[in-house]
Chain A
Amino acid sequence: MLTIKNLEACIEDKAILKGIHLNIKPGEVHAIMGPNGSGKSTLANILAGREEYQITAGSMHYQNVDLAPLTPDERAHLGLFLSFQYPVEIPGVSNLYLLKSALNAKRKHMGLEEIDAIDFLTVVREKMKLLHMDDSYLYRDVNSGFSGGEKKRNEILQLLLLEPSLCILDETDSGLDIDALRIVAEGINLMRNEKRSILLITHYQRLLDYIKPDVVHILSDGKIVAEGDYQLATVLEAEGYEPFLQKKAGD
């Protein structure tokens, strides 16, 4: 279970997160929605261990382990996975090599041997089939020259392969066409089980129609200003953020 208490963080003296509380139990799907610049990606990055942010107050625990002292790779080995809003390009490194290195890093951490090359191809092709990806993805450089949607699909491929227990998806739906959104969402739904926690960051209700969240949070200016069930997303879709922001100004 993920427990975030009163988390405050800044970058270069600019406060971005201003006291976040969040609990995600095993098996739950939570969604975070909120205006541009409200701090959604910052929260995701801080959970994953990005160093450029300073945490000024509060705490984050996953499976009762304090995340703060852990490096990003140690957090990954705890089972935390971040699907990036803007996946980076790594020229000259093939996607195949990245996928295999990531899987082997995980296996090594679990005390398992490196996966056999043939077994690996079998596993990865199975996952690619779920996402309607063809073999050419394996031999292209990581995200290099990928379209926006292809990059997102590639993130989900990594997620399916690594089978993390805490999945943070930062605007995975942005950039996906209508069919791709459905395919990717189906892939994610396959991952849903009673042990796995999922945190969806999104601007659109459409994704939540496919992946029904247990809780929806609205983040504004570094704080969670409203919480509710799936219905909250519908309200948001109809009325926009304005009512929630006013409510915040009023309290």
Chain B
Amino acid sequence: MTRPNETLETLLQQDYEHGFVTDIDTDTLPPGLNEDTIRAISAKKNEPEFMLAWRLKAYEYWRHLKEPHWAHLKYDPIDYQALSYYSAPKLKEGPKNLDEVDPKLIETYNKLGIPLKEQEWLAGVAVDAVFDSISVATTFKDKLNEMGIIFCSFSDAVQNHPDLVQQYLGSVVPHTDNFFASLNAAVFSDGSFVYIPPGVRCPMELSTYFRINARSTGQFERTLIIADKGSYVSYLEGCTAPQRDENQLHAAVVELVALDNAQIKYSTVQNWYPGDENGVGGIYNFVTKRAECRGHHSKISWTQVETGSAITWKYPSVVLKGDYSVGEFYSVALTNHHQQADTGTKMIHSGQHTKSTIIAKGISAGFAQNTYRGLVKVLAHADGAHNYTRCDSLLMGQHCGAHTFPYIESKNSRARIEHEASTSKISEDQLFYLAQRGIDTENAVSMIVNGFCKEVMKTLPMEFAVEARKLLGLSLEGSIG
């Protein structure tokens, strides 16, 4: 760590002074990370023994790891001892109503067409003021309960469904997976848990949106979704409204498991605070998302629209274990100003007759850097494997960059792997044409960019798609003079 020894000493002393173990009742743990931190988190959450054991194993592993730097990203070193790893949800902090919220934020919400109630929630208006939306969530939950669907916070799942958690936790993203995933395993605070019983088709889009406490669990989130045989679920994560968070580092883990004939559709719109025009502030978003098509004829689709964060490091992947399973990755990554995104996917073909599709659209403006990094891997016994990949980059202006790193490792000579890529600039001819029809530059840019991303946008669920389309336009405001 970069912190001088002296400061570290003081910090350690402080920790000692407050004492982790005796301090269980307070809301926030002091900064620092050691075995006691892990024990304190687990104790505060009243976790069963297997959880603590797993966290400790992860921590022990993580301690010996070095932060990875292979991605096409630049950022200052993160001081992991300076972070605080537990903070209980504070229910009544924040503004009392929308009048107390930064008008600029409200303006953006209005442009996106977000209803008032949701604006209150997003802006962090005290929880009792948005009680309505909680009761909406409760009604949904009753309906889901009837069908045997479990949709709850991760903490609730650990308490109420420990067997399922124990069976599936870490079975897709093990605690040894990578630096950020190990850290997450050791210290994650909460997240979402979904289980769809055999043969059940979840009747609504499940969304973190409805979980009021999601806001306070942002930093080290963990999501686990299990679709049992023949079931179907569509899950939405995040929202289009810009979300601010005092935590700079976000290291979430998402694990998806689809058993025989099951289908999971996972859609993300990520719009964390990207920092200002000069690249100051902004969230570091280091996420591990992986899905396993464990059963035959299972199918998992990732769709992501990434417009936020100062730094995005994210590769939603699919391990195609079951024969005839299908993996899909549809991505739009938009970077403006000084944002950096290094994102892509991995498709691991291990079952026979497995199929994967990758459509990645990168848009860069300003001084931003946008990297697609993808791996298509076909194992020796995966006969009949087929991948189709297309990566298109759109550049706006002279100072931004687009990079494409498609890796292919095939151990099966009969696998069909197709790759197409293109890079283009937003064309003056198109802008002039639209302007001649009376359409102003901002709307014209938004139209062209949305057209460029159409194949991906159309895979988003309806209600998400409308907002996401506006979001692409807003994120590029002012990028063409």
Contact = CB atoms under 8 A, between A and B. Distances in A.
Interface of A: 48-52, 71-73, 75-77, 81-82, 84, 87-88, 90-93, 97-98, 101-102, 105-106, 109, 141, 158, 162
B447 interface: yes
Nearest to A164: B438
24 contacts: A51-B432, A71-B435, A72-B432, A73-B435, A73-B439, A73-B441, A76-B436, A76-B438, A84-B433, A90-B433, A92-B453, A93-B447, A93-B448, A93-B450, A93-B451, A98-B434, A101-B439, A102-B438, A102-B439, A105-B439, A105-B440, A106-B438, A141-B451, A162-B438
A166 B439 CA distance: 17
Contacts of B436: 48-49, 72-73, 75-76, 81-82, 84
Given A72-B435, A93-B447, 14 more contacts: A49-B436, A50-B432, A51-B432, A73-B435, A73-B440, A88-B429, A90-B447, A90-B448, A90-B451, A92-B450, A93-B454, A105-B440, A162-B437, A162-B438
The secondary structure that dominates the B interface is: helix
A76 to B, nearest CB: 4
Contact of B454 (A52, A81, A92, A98): A92
Instruction: Select the residue from B428, B430, B438, B454 with max chain A CB neighbours within 10 A.
Output: B438
A105 B448 contact: no
B160 to A, nearest CB: 46
A88 B430 contact: yes
Contacts of B450: 92-93
For the complex of A and B, the 7 pairs showing the least CB-CB separation, nearest first, are: A92-B451, A92-B454, A72-B435, A76-B438, A93-B451, A102-B437, A105-B438
B476 to A, nearest CB: 15
B452 interface: yes
B443 interface: yes
B427 interface: yes
A132 to B, nearest CB: 22
B428 A52 contact: yes
A92 B359 CA distance: 14
A52 B428 CA distance: 10
A97 B369 CA distance: 31
A141 B434 CA distance: 14
A109 B439 CA distance: 10
Contacts of A102: 437-439
B447 A87 contact: no
B75 to A, nearest CB: 33
Contact of B437 (A71, A98, A141): A98
A196 B18 CA distance: 83
Contacts of A71: 435
